[in-house]
Amino acid sequence: MRYAHIVGWGCYLPEQVLTNDDLAGMVDTSNEWIYTRTGIRERRLANEKETTATLAFEAAARALAMSKINPTQVDLIIVATSTPEFVFPSTASLLQDYLGARKAGAFDLSAACTGFIYALSLAANSIATGAVDTAVIVGAETLSRITDWQDRGTCILFGDGAGAVVLKGSDIPGGVLATTLRSDGSGGNLLSLYNGRGNAVPHYGTSYLNGHKSTIHMNGRQVFRFATSVVPESIEEVVEKAGLTMDDVSLIVPHQANQRIIDHAAKKLKLPPEKFFINLDRFGNTSAASIPIALCDAAKEGKLHPDDNLVFVGFGGGLTWGSAVVKWNVTPPPISPMRRQWRRARYVAARARSRVRQLARRLLAWIAGSPTPDARLKDADKRPEE
């Protein structure tokens, strides 16, 4: 039996801050309303050069540096996101290229705000079976690009960011002890992002198709009700599955959606609020990225100790929800600035290698006389309209 341990973690938040007061200048709302209803004070926004893959890269590079694992040792990369650059290639494949993780398989995972829990579960199970040894799991989002900035019911909630962990197989018991994953697709229309291609599920109706742009559509009240009912239940279920009791749990790191959802869970489980780690006041709801970002902050604040039992719990679109219990084993030593520089140099080299491969592909195509992708596009432009 192999155990999947978290051996590194990292997060990246864009610099630009959007405060509740800034939002009050954009839509009919106020700092007071947002803070009392959600607990959020401000969130971060990606700049025009930042994409989901670049945020994911920054978080993954930090997690790898901490774990002292080289990208070439990584077997599997999963990016949980609702805001991928493309349908394909996956953001995970872009990340694999940026990292120069030459031996890794890579794919994106779509489970909305529960995506990080799903990714953790899949990667940990792959490690437990011996199929892979080292995995990089990332939650990364640029939600600002799919937010309707005129809809005060949603635009006040979301933010951009990324968080990553490195999982490694070991014979030492611990790491990811148990996970539970759930879905209820009958509630899919409560929180959705339509892809705008005219093929939405028929029972969502034409009003859904006509009324919604490619921005987040949410029934806040209903999602709130769903979250408050599944979060406590899911935590209890996973703790039992891990063979533990609630007294054994040191810290719960929940998806950072709304302070009131977390308060409700604490009350229902009869736990003190301090058992739940919260940083949504500074970053808002970053969907799949929120749990690994919160984990990084908890580590920074000295809230994680060897042998602590941590619970992660996520919920969101799908509807999906899920939890994980992780035995925290490591306190990695700090990385020297020299080593950090060396790692950065490797990533520059990885980009250069990627460019060289692209050029070589073009050169070979030219020698073989086969049309380049650009030539094919030009050909397509010349074809008469049907």
CB-CB neighbours of 267 under 10 Å:
12
Sole window of 93-101, 129-137, 222-230, 369-377 interacting with ligand UT7 (rule: CB under 6 A): 222-230
Beta carbon of residue 52, minimum distance to ligand UT7 (angstroms, whole number): 17
Catalytic residue among 20, 255, 279, 296: 255
Sole window of 55-63, 150-158, 274-282, 328-336 interacting with ligand UT7 (rule: CB under 6 A): 150-158
Token code pair at residue 185: 């697709």
Query: The dihedral of CA 353, 358, 363, 368: what is its sign?
Result: positive
29 touching ligand UT7, by CB under 6 A: yes
The answer to whether 305 is a known catalytic residue is: no
81 touching ligand UT7, by CB under 6 A: no
State which of residues 145, 152, 212, 282 lies at the interface with ligand UT7 (CB under 6 A): 152
Token code pair at residue 97: 């290229």
Beta carbon of residue 199, minimum distance to ligand UT7 (angstroms, whole number): 24
Per DSSP, the three-state class of 172 is: coil
Catalytic residue among 5, 11, 20, 113: 113
Please tell me what DSSP assigns to residue 289.
G
For 310, residues 6+ apart whose C-beta sits below 8 A from its C-beta are 249, 250, 251, 252, 253, 295, 304, 325, 326, 327, 328
220 touching ligand UT7, by CB under 6 A: yes
Sole window of 79-87, 218-226, 291-299, 302-310 interacting with ligand UT7 (rule: CB under 6 A): 218-226
State which of residues 156, 253, 269, 319 lies at the interface with ligand UT7 (CB under 6 A): 156
β-bridge mates for residue 78, sequence order: 107, 137
Q: Which of residues 90-119 bind ligand UT7 (CB under 6 A)?
A: 113
318 touching ligand UT7, by CB under 6 A: no
Nearest residue (CB) to ligand UT7, 38 versus 67: 38
CB-CB neighbours of 300 under 10 Å:
12
- Helices marked H in the chain: 20-24, 31-38, 52-67, 91-99, 115-128, 206-211, 220-241, 259-268, 280-283, 290-300, 337-368, 373-382
Burial (CB count <10 Å: 0-12, 13-18, 19+), residue 59: buried
Question: Which residue type occupies 314?
Answer: G
Beta carbon of residue 28, minimum distance to ligand UT7 (angstroms, whole number): 6
Sole window of 27-35, 139-147, 332-340, 375-383 interacting with ligand UT7 (rule: CB under 6 A): 27-35
Residues that bind ligand UT7 (CB under 6 A): 29, 33-34, 37-38, 113, 152-153, 156, 191, 220-221, 223-224, 227, 257-258, 285, 316
Catalytic residues: 113, 255, 285
